[in-house]
Structure 1
Amino acid sequence: MAQPNAEPAEDYDYESLPPNFSLIQNMAAGAFAGIAEHCAMYPIDAIKTRMQILNPNPGAVYNGVIQGTFNIARTEGVLSLWRGMSSVIVGAGPAHAVYFATYEAVKHVMGGNQAGVHHPLAAATSGACATIASDALMNPFDVIKQRMQIQNSAKIYRSLFDCAKYVYKNEGLGAFYVSYPTTLSMTVPFTALQFLAYESISTSMNPTKGYDPLTHCVAGAVGGGFAAALTTPMDVIKTMLQTRGNAQDPELRRVNGFMAGCRLLYKREGARGFFKGVKPRVLTTMPSTAICWSAYEASKAYFIRQNDSSASQSP
């Protein structure tokens, strides 16, 4: 029998991390969400990467998702659209576990879990802190992923570990983090915008902040697409820095930072070059963030139900 002074399990607030949603459970939910998000839209992400590469080979020009898919499948085989996904699977789980753990912890500390109250500053700050922590872990895996997404990468790298060894041997440890400042210049505003939009839309659609799959899906998709479009220029520079080691162009290989990348891109392709791949980026991000938030919130709701059930049955 439950203690007479114990608080009923159903009185717990869904949005609060303590006491009925542990850190380990939160990290497990985040890891599941991250893997689901990246794997579902991986082929379109591969096309986006190729569209953003500066000065590609004549046979590697991609003008859209459909043309890119057909071109890659015809010349390199359908399975090449999934090359490098192993890097995402290995890295995305731990990175998203850290991501959502940081997000929930910072949001809770800043008072962003109160039902019916919108806290835009808490949402933006928790999102920025979450991405700084997770990108430190994910950046090397993202470098490997993009190296394996380039044209004919199968002739250079046999596997995830072979690619990592090749990059380290030829370019040193710094190659895995040369894009990290640029990555943060993209992901911090991206995540802040996404979380701000997500929290705003979800609070408007679902003021009680209870588990609602439709709200999480719609808010995740709109928030992600909005943030993706605005941060595309930083994503283009990130791709340049992460794939420069495979370039034959000496000027491109010498690019060593965000500003140098901006100058070279503007010199070669003008202002339009900063939005290369914006359509596949938004097309990838909207469903992937919808999947990510839906998977995360579903996992979170599942753990809370299990914990509430255990609490109600405990003597």
Structure 2
Amino acid sequence: MLEDDDNPYETLDEASSMGTHMLAGAAAGIMEHTVMYPVDCVKTRMQCLVPDPKADYRNVYDALNKIVRHEGIRNTVRGFSAMATGAGPAHALYFACYEKIKHLASGGMQGNHLANGLAGCSATLLHDAIMNPADVVKQRMQVYGSPYQSTLMCFRDILRTEGPSAFYRSYATQLTMNVPFQSIQFMTYEFMQDILNTERNYDPKTHIVAGALAGAVAASVTMPLDVCKTLLNTQENCARTQLTYISGMASAFRTVYQFCGIPGFFRGITARVIYQMPSTAISWSVYEFFKYIIHENRKRQNSVSTEDRYVPSAVQLAAASARSVDR
């Protein structure tokens, strides 16, 4: 038996860990956003400050029902291709960076939640640099009455009329939201794993439960920033602001407060928690599954190569037998 077989699957060898985490992370990111995408559309609609009377929704179910009935089911997945294009590479870098920095900062020791939080912050910088332009296009297409017929049309129009900076107008707010969001998510996930899965073996049930709780806690804490991010991405027509564009986190906070007061910072919180709980659970469980499968395959390959080194071939056995007879 190989010595590596006694180790949990989390302890991947240095030579293979980066590619393993990137592949697992890309699969996890695409699955996470795909399954819950219609709820993400509802969240964007419910966060609008001055919704059209036809798009004023009471709750998540009412929103989904009205969108499907009046606009067609295809409108619940508008902007999906923009999300899919960004999610794969963004999550590949996200998880690979997280695992690498977590290992370096913790010295390979489990239970260091400060190291987990630091790793989450660092991973977010890479993730958001890729996902921010995709989010801008996605949310422009999700709003009620969006004039864009395709992701490419939306991208070209934003680039032509507002310039490249429009894709990063919400980047500072996105980071301000996602750094604490991801730090809280990673720390909560690792904390729950320490409680539910002390041996750190592959256990789908604990990955799902820990992921869902991590998503719910992080989503609730950072909700006001998500409302501001949506405003900066969609650039709703707020005539009372007397501004051509709403730019910067401070301006977004003032605008939300002016239109809706304190409750405005929590518009769509139910949709966001409903979105984040299963999507984060899916993300972590798919990530852990792919990491486990890749690691197991690599272990089997190493086991076979080791046996080949130490098990003598038929020719070697025959030669040894002949030498014994000669003696």
State the TM-score bracket (shorter-chain normalisation). Answer: over 0.9
What is the letter of the counterpart of residue 210 of structure 2? A
Structure 2 residue aligned with 1:102: 97
Supply the distance in 1 between the matched residues of 2:29 and 2:107 (Cα, whole angstroms).
22
Supply the distance in 2 between the matched residues of 1:26 and 1:223 (Cα, whole angstroms).
20
**Displacement of 1:253 after TM fit?**
4.4
Q: Which runs of 5+ in 2 are unaligned?
A: 309-327
What is the letter of the counterpart of residue 116 of structure 2? A
Structure 2 residue aligned with 1:160: 151
Of 53, 56, 59, the match for 1:58: 53
Supply the distance in 2 between the matched residues of 1:225 and 1:253 (Cα, whole angstroms).
35
Supply the distance in 2 between the matched residues of 1:71 and 1:168 (Cα, whole angstroms).
32
What do the CA deviations read for 1:181-208 (whole angstroms, capped 9, x no partner)?
0001111000000000000001111111
**Displacement of 1:250 after TM fit?**
6.2
Structure 2 residue aligned with 1:42: 37
Supply the distance in 1 between the matched residues of 2:265 and 2:187 (Cα, whole angstroms).
24
Supply the distance in 2 between the matched residues of 1:55 and 1:230 (Cα, whole angstroms).
24
1:198 aligns with 2:183: no
What is the letter of the counterpart of residue 168 of structure 1? L
CA contact 1:20–1:304 (8 Å) conserved in 2:
no
TM-score, normalised with respect to structure 2: 0.90
Of 138, 142, 159, the match for 1:145: 138
Please list, as runs of the form range in 1=range in 2, the aligned pairs for 1:82-97 lying within 5 A after superposition. 82-97=77-92
Please list, as runs of the form range in 1=range in 2, the aligned pairs for 1:16-27 lying within 5 A after superposition. 16-19=11-14, 21-27=16-22
1:299 aligns with 2:294: no
Supply the distance in 2 between the matched residues of 1:272 and 1:23 (Cα, whole angstroms).
43
Identity of aligned residues (%): 44
What do the CA deviations read for 1:40-70 (whole angstroms, capped 9, x no partner)?
0000110000010111222221221111011
Supply the distance in 1 between the matched residues of 2:14 and 2:53 (Cα, whole angstroms).
58
CA contact 2:8–2:199 (8 Å) conserved in 1:
no
What is the letter of the counterpart of residue 136 of structure 1? A
Supply the distance in 2 between the matched residues of 1:19 and 1:233 (Cα, whole angstroms).
40
Secondary structure of the equivalent of 1:151?
A: coil
**Displacement of 1:152 after TM fit?**
2.3
- CA spacing shift, 1:216–1:143, aligned 2, 3 Å: same
Of 156, 178, 199, the match for 1:187: 178
Q: Please give the root-mean-square deviation of Cα atoms over the aligned residues, in Å.
A: 1.5
Q: Which runs of 5+ in 1 are unaligned?
A: none
Secondary structure of the equivalent of 2:106?
A: coil
What is the letter of the counterpart of residue 182 of structure 1? T
Supply the distance in 2 between the matched residues of 1:249 and 1:272 (Cα, whole angstroms).
21
Structure 1 residue aligned with 2:315: none
Structure 1 residue aligned with 2:264: 273
1:177 aligns with 2:172: no
**Displacement of 1:21 after TM fit?**
4.0
CA contact 1:20–1:307 (8 Å) conserved in 2:
no
Secondary structure of the equivalent of 1:110?
A: helix
**Displacement of 1:13 after TM fit?**
3.8
Secondary structure of the equivalent of 1:255?
A: coil
Secondary structure of the equivalent of 1:63?
A: coil
What do the CA deviations read for 1:144-169 (whole angstroms, capped 9, x no partner)?
1101101122xx21211111001111
Please list, as runs of the form range in 1=range in 2, the aligned pairs for 1:107-256 lying within 5 A after superposition. 107-111=102-106, 113-114=108-109, 117-153=110-146, 156-244=147-235, 247=237, 249=239, 251=241, 253-256=244-247
CA contact 1:17–1:104 (8 Å) conserved in 2:
no
What is the letter of the counterpart of residue 197 of structure 2? N
What is the letter of the counterpart of residue 194 of structure 2? T
**Displacement of 1:129 after TM fit?**
0.7
TM-score, normalised with respect to structure 1: 0.93
**Displacement of 1:113 after TM fit?**
4.0
What is the letter of the counterpart of residue 138 of structure 2? K
What do the CA deviations read for 1:232-277 (whole angstroms, capped 9, x no partner)?
1000000000000x52636264321101111111111110000000
What do the CA deviations read for 1:67-114 (whole angstroms, capped 9, x no partner)?
101111122111100111111111100000010010011001012643
Structure 1 residue aligned with 2:318: none
1:262 aligns with 2:253: yes
Supply the distance in 2 between the matched residues of 1:89 and 1:253 (Cα, whole angstroms).
30
Supply the distance in 1 between the matched residues of 2:10 and 2:208 (Cα, whole angstroms).
16
CA contact 1:50–1:149 (8 Å) conserved in 2:
yes
What is the letter of the counterpart of residue 66 of structure 2? N
Instruction: Name which one, 1 or 2, has greater alpha-carbon Rg.
Output: 2
What is the letter of the counterpart of residue 209 of structure 2? V
- CA spacing shift, 1:202–1:253, aligned 2, 3 Å: farther
Secondary structure of the equivalent of 1:199?
A: helix
Supply the distance in 2 between the matched residues of 1:277 and 1:84 (Cα, whole angstroms).
19
